[in-house]
Chains A and B, each alone.
Chain A
Amino acid sequence: DAKTTQPPSMDCAEGRAANLPCNHSTISGNEYVYWYRQIHSQGPQYIIHGLKNNETNEMASLIITEDRKSSTLILPHATLRDTAVYYCIVSYRGGSNYKLTFGKGTLLTVNP
């Protein structure tokens, strides 16, 4: 799987948008970008994924650059409960290449 690079930590004010960057310059054409988050002492939570196009769901938006070498996860209105470690992962979808390899992620701290 391609590796990703994320800043170790970020801060965000409550109510503001949180923009979490991720570099994945070695991503291959068939690999998707996945975002998960892990609140302290809990299992990770799936957020969103995408291949080429920007994606949006009830939790977040995912913006993928045209060359697919980087992406940004956007939490439009961060709340205190969004404080967590956010993981950006690139992986194939389905088949035998099914693994998710977790890096160190970004610790997002939402401040009141």
Chain B
Amino acid sequence: GAVVSQHPSRVICKSGTSVKIECRSLDFQATTMFWYRQFPKQSLMLMATSNEGSKATYEQGVEKDKFLINHASLTLSTLTVTSAHPEDSSFYICSAGAGTGNEQFFGPGTRLTVL
């Protein structure tokens, strides 16, 4: 149990385009989902926390208008990188929590390359 999927696993896009990444909890309902970013040889950095049906809470320094997060259901959250630029190239990872506990279950990640 506790499986989280992400789609796509890898995406290459041109500068200026928008990219949507989906995160799904496959066998449980996720009241809270998290989005992280990881640059090469660095640790995960939390970008934002989203609760189903409400606006996401962004970490300091993360542009909410650039990284649009939607958590429309208990099993799906999406991250849209708008007007992507090469510096947005990174490994984007989502995680899902299933309630009052703090065990987060992570997706496999999406590698974004912006040319």
Give the segment of B13-21, B67-75, B105-113 that binds chain A.
B105-113
Residue in B34, B49, B93, B102 whose beta carbon sits within 8 Å of that of A32 in the complex: B102
How many chain B residues touch A (CB < 8 A): the figure is 27
How many chain A residues touch B (CB < 8 A): the figure is 25
Residue in A44, A91, A92, A95 whose beta carbon sits within 8 Å of that of B44 in the complex: A44
Q: Given that A94-B100, A94-B101 are known contacts, is A42 also in contact with B49, CB under 8 Å in the complex?
A: no
The smallest C-beta distance from B108 to any residue of chain A, in angstroms, reads 5
Chain A at the B interface: mostly helix, strand, loop or mixed? loop
Q: Does B29 contact A (CB under 8 A)?
A: no
User: Nearest residue in A to B51 (C-beta to C-beta)?
Assistant: A98
For A91, list chain B residues within 8 Å (CB): 102
Which B residues, 17 to 54, have Cβ-Cβ distances below 8 Å to chain A?
32, 34, 36, 43-46, 49
Q: Given that A43-B93, A101-B46 are known contacts, is A49 also in contact with B103, CB under 8 Å in the complex?
A: yes
Q: Given that A94-B100, A98-B97, A101-B46 are known contacts, is A46 also in contact with B105, CB under 8 Å in the complex?
A: yes
Q: Is the pair B104, A100 in contact by a Cβ cutoff of 8 Å?
A: yes
User: Nearest residue in B to A47 (C-beta to C-beta)?
Assistant: B103
Q: Is the pair A42, B102 in contact by a Cβ cutoff of 8 Å?
A: no
For B6, list chain A residues within 8 Å (CB): 43
The smallest C-beta distance from B79 to any residue of chain A, in angstroms, reads 14
Q: How far is it, in angstroms, between the C-alpha of A46 and the C-alpha of B45 when the chains are bound?
A: 17
Q: Given that A41-B91, A43-B95, A44-B106 are known contacts, is A93 also in contact with B44, CB under 8 Å in the complex?
A: no
Q: How far is it, in angstroms, between the C-alpha of A44 and the C-alpha of B93 when the chains are bound?
A: 9
- Among B46, B103, B105, B111: residue with most chain A CB under 10 A: B103
Q: Does A16 contact B (CB under 8 A)?
A: no
Q: How far is it, in angstroms, between the C-alpha of A78 and the C-alpha of B106 when the chains are bound?
A: 23
Q: What residues of chain B have their CB less than 8 Å away from a CB belonging to chain A?
A: 2, 4, 6, 32, 34, 36, 43-46, 49, 91, 93, 95, 97, 99-109, 111
17 pairs of residues in contact across A and B, judged by CB atoms under 8 Å: A32-B102, A36-B106, A41-B109, A43-B93, A43-B106, A44-B93, A44-B95, A45-B106, A49-B102, A49-B103, A91-B102, A94-B100, A100-B46, A100-B102, A102-B43, A102-B44, A104-B43
